[in-house]
């Protein structure tokens, strides 16, 4: 049963005790990545057979045209229409994120930066407990808008191809879809094999092994973030209803046994009612066993005296998803400093962001919303600095540059400026 706390620090202490270290998993991931670097396809195929129980080779690793056609044919028209409308919403928002070159020209000086997309991006789309066609849209569309030349995708094949996932990839124009998953897929995209080309950036959610693999390969390729299990935190006052709050808490609990669902409320009667309603709704879920473990181990209801205290506690936790289920959510928004995404009011549930509204659902978790943002166009671009001085401008600056270079002990730096003005 979900526990009720009167202090968010008590909850954090309890949460830290429940979380286990990942040292053994890190060792396993390191071994997989090292094998991929050395043995390339041989290691990729070996681990795919070991973990996904399927035989993959250079001839069948790619999803072929017929398989794509069969998947699209298997998707009901209603679902395809929903995907198309979601795609349109995501494109509209991502176009607003596009950066422009920025150059300042003044008195013989030109400085600033130009924007360039990465050449190739690799998307990871999970295929374990549930398929994630929505993640295809969320990862691919920012790359498309950014102008990435080529997008490839890896998705596990252990349970066969998910028609909706493949249809979403086709909808985004992804031509190369590889039937591999796990840490081995991340390693293959980061370092390249004969079958899978090396990419510049890897994005997309995954389990703990995928997250640790992304951490391991960072530097060989860029990554979006090291995402953990899903999180939701709800701030609620007496205007909220127990049924809705319980449903929203469980919407994340069903993701993963390690998912975190937290309610912070100023209404103690509401807290008790929500706890009862969570138990009632749990019994009706298809994934009740997953949600039960999540709620029992990581769920919490925290009571506070004021909504300001609720915001303070939320900022401390820095949740992935934050719902402001209060009568006046706009009055609280200025108090929110740390969150991946904020859902405003009683009619903006978290699944609206997961599937449809437009903002990305690949979000910072595990407190990283203190310094990290959602996946977006910026993950697929680079800012290249531009510096151009004419002779007169450099002459005016030379004494300052020489002084600074010599202060740091770099005579050659100083000389590179001085030599230009010696006669």
320, 323, 346, 350: the active-site residue: 320
Q: What is the dihedral of CA 126, 131, 132, 136, to 10 degrees?
A: 70
Q: β-strands 381-389, 109-117: how paired? A: antiparallel
How far the first Cα of the chain sits from its last, in Å, is: 83
| Residue in 23, 28, 68, 34 with CA at minimum distance from that of residue 51 | 28
Residue with tokens 């300042």: 104
Q: What is the dihedral of CA 408, 409, 411, 416, to 10 degrees?
A: -20
30 is catalytic: no
For residues 143 and 153, give the distance between their C-alpha atoms in angstroms, rounded to a whole number.
12
- 320-343: b (≥16 Cβ within 10 Å) or e: bbbbbbbeebeebeeeeebbbbbb
For residues 378 and 97, give the distance between their C-alpha atoms in angstroms, rounded to a whole number.
8
3-5: strand order across its sheet: 3-5, 300-303, 260-265, 231-236, 321-325, 341-344
SS3 state at 203? strand
For residues 44 and 181, give the distance between their C-alpha atoms in angstroms, rounded to a whole number.
10
321 is catalytic: yes
For residues 76 and 81, give the distance between their C-alpha atoms in angstroms, rounded to a whole number.
9
Q: Packing angle between helix 182-191 and helix 41-52, nearest 10 degrees?
A: 160
For residues 13 and 8, give the distance between their C-alpha atoms in angstroms, rounded to a whole number.
9
The DSSP element (H or E) to which 67 belongs, if any, is helix 65-74
For residues 217 and 376, give the distance between their C-alpha atoms in angstroms, rounded to a whole number.
20
8, 255, 321, 346: the active-site residue: 321
The token pair that represents 374 in the structure block: 């959602």
User: Vertex 242, ends 241 and 243: CA angle to 5°?
Assistant: 95
Q: What is the DSSP string of 256-320?
A: -TT-EEEEEES-HHHHHHHHHHHHHHHTT-TTHHHHHHHHHHH-EEEE-SSHHHHHHHHHHH--S
Tell me the catalytic residues: 320-321
């Amino acid at each position: 049963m979900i526990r009720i706390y009167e202090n968010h620090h008590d909850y954090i202490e309890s949460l830290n005790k429940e979380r286990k270290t990942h040292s053994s998993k890190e060792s396993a991931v390191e071994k997989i990545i090292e094998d991929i670097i050395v043995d390339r396809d041989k290691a990729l195929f070996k681990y795919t057979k070991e973990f996904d129980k399927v035989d993959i080779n250079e001839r069948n690793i790619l999803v072929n045209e017929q398989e794509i056609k069969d998947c699209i044919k298997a998707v009901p028209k209603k679902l395809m229409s929903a995907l198309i409308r979601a795609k349109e919403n995501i494109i509209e928002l991502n176009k607003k994120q596009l950066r422009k070159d920025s150059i300042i020209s003044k008195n013989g000086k030109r400085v600033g930066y130009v924007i360039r997309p990465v050449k190739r991006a690799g998307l990871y789309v999970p295929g374990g407990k549930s398929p994630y066609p929505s993640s295809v849209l969320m990862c691919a569309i920012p790359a498309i808008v950014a102008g990435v030349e080529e997008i490839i995708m890896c998705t596990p094949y252990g349970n066969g191809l998910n028609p909706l996932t493949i249809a979403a990839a086709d909808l985004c124009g992804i031509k190369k879809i590889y039937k591999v998953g796990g840490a081995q897929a991340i390693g293959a995209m980061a370092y390249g094999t004969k079958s899978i080309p090396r990419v510049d950036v890897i994005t997309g959610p995954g389990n703990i092994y995928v997250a640790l693999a992304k951490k391991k390969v960072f530097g060989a390729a860029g990554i979006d973030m090291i995402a953990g299990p899903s999180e939701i935190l709800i701030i609620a006052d007496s205007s909220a209803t127990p049924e809705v709050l319980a449903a929203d808490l469980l919407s994340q609990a069903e993701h993963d046994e390690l998912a975190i669902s937290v309610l912070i409320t100023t209404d103690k009667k509401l807290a008790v009612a929500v706890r009862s309603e969570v138990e009632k709704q749990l019994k009706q879920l298809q994934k009740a066993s997953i949600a039960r473990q999540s709620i029992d181990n990581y769920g919490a209801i925290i009571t506070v005296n004021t909504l300001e205290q609720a915001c303070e506690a939320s900022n401390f936790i820095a949740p992935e998803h934050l719902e402001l289920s209060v009568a006046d959510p706009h009055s609280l928004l200025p108090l929110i400093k740390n969150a991946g995404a904020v859902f405003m009011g009683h009619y903006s549930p978290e699944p609206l962001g997961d599937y449809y509204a437009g903002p990305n659902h690949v979000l910072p978790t595990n407190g990283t919303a203190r310094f990290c943002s959602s996946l977006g166009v910026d993950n697929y671009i680079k800012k290249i600095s531009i510096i151009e001085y004419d002779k007169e401008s450099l002459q005016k600056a030379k004494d300052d540059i020489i002084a600074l270079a010599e202060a740091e002990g770099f005579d050659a730096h100083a000389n590179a400026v001085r030599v230009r003005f010696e006669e």
